[in-house]
Structure 1
């Protein structure tokens, strides 16, 4: 039995929680050639001016290694005992969004959006991820992309252009598992309501006591 069970106002509770076994922030960059962008407008006979390249929040990063049979490796850590870590293989699918303008022969500009999807080469990451843990990988909003000049496709695809794209994918990776924890806690009670005044009192104008009323 816990020696802390008699602390005032606290009692032993068993709760469901998510235990984080490992957590890292990493980045991976890759250049993709001849990426096909699908435009929202017909681009034939127009100059393409790209103003921004953004990584869509719907981009994904998933584990493709066997969760129940991840390869392991012994890692030497300075001033610490050797540790056994798992090799986790990740696959990133990045959705790229472009915005800009299309300039026609009469110098009239039309706003456009364009989208393309690129798939990174599989990536291996060392994590403390023993059997029974899950791996969560999230592409963060610090990711970015740069697109080179775009080349229009044939007339059979009037809204498609290709170009080279450099993508820096920043990712938050953690291994976790649901666990049950015994803790010392106190149930939270709701606070009292704070009433909204029905009518506000009109304050009197501020007096100028230094000049009025006069001293007698």
Structure 2
């Protein structure tokens, strides 16, 4: 069956959507000092230290107008201060190969970016990649209390930052058309004779 053409059919529509005022993709790196306690290990038992990071929702703290000259034209952009919170979990692998989680801590860091983000727009941060690694660690044997690890953790964020605002647009649009139906020619199966039970039936009278 051929789909009926709707070519030429147009309608003026008002639609609600989101306008992207500005959009950047960048990488941010944060260095975090951490100190965690080790309850059931000796410093000689510590083989490696690793980490995992889980980001939380970013919050815009401030935006300030800044004047720029771009391609010879003056333009007002915004210096946006973004507060980012993430949770870092530390794991220790011992010399016997056993790995265990030793601590989880929440940290907050701030970053500033230049955007076209006037008041009223929403600044959205999406993380496309989040990772962390332990750059240095030192195990300390305390005279009193548990052992402790002093860590230098680096968190790396690949992020997409957009400033957006809801808008209502008036557009002239063509009607969409359904696609053609794919050909389908089923093959009828040949008759099949059911399996017989000649040993049981029919019997041969002697």
Residue 133 of structure 1 corresponds to: 121
| Aligned pair partner of 2:64 in 62, 66, 71 | 71
Question: Which one of 79, 82, 85 corresponds to residue 77 of structure 2?
Answer: 85
1:169 match: 157
Matches within 5 A, 1:1-216: 8-33=8-33, 35-37=34-36, 42-45=39-42, 47-50=45-48, 52-56=50-54, 58-65=55-62, 70-77=63-70, 79-99=71-91, 101-103=93-95, 108-114=96-102, 115-120=104-109, 122-141=110-129, 143-151=131-139, 156=145, 161-186=149-174, 188=176
Which one has the bigger strand percentage? 2
> CA RMSD, aligned part only?
3.6
Q: How much has 1:84 moved relative to structure 2?
A: 0.4
Q: Distance in 2 between matches of 1:48 and 1:197?
A: 67
Q: Distance in 2 between matches of 1:118 and 1:171?
A: 18
Distance 1:99 1:14 in 2: 54
Determine if contact 1:71/1:87 at 8 Å carries over to the other structure: yes
Query: Hey, what's the Cα distance between the residues in 2 that align with 1:38 and 1:9?
Result: 71
Contact 1:48 1:102 in 2 (8 A): yes
Structure 1: distance between partners of 2:115 and 2:25: 12
- State the Cα distance separating 1:100 from its structure 2 match: 5.1
Q: CA shift at 1:93, angstroms?
A: 1.5
Q: Report the structure number with the largest CA radius of gyration.
A: 2
Shift of 1:196: 9.8
Structure 2: state its 5+ residue gaps. 1-6, 191-206
* CA deviation after TM superposition for structure 1 residue 183, in Å: 1.8
Q: 1:98 to 1:50 in 2, by over 3 A?
A: farther
The answer on whether the counterparts of 1:50 and 1:98 sit within 8 Å (CA) in structure 2 is: no
Q: Is the CA contact 2:16–2:166 (under 8 Å) kept in the aligned structure 1?
A: yes
Q: Secondary structure at the match of 2:73?
A: coil
TM-score normalized with structure 1 length: 0.66
SS of the residue 1:149 aligns to? strand
Aligned length: 181
Give the TM-score of the pair, scaled to structure 2: 0.68
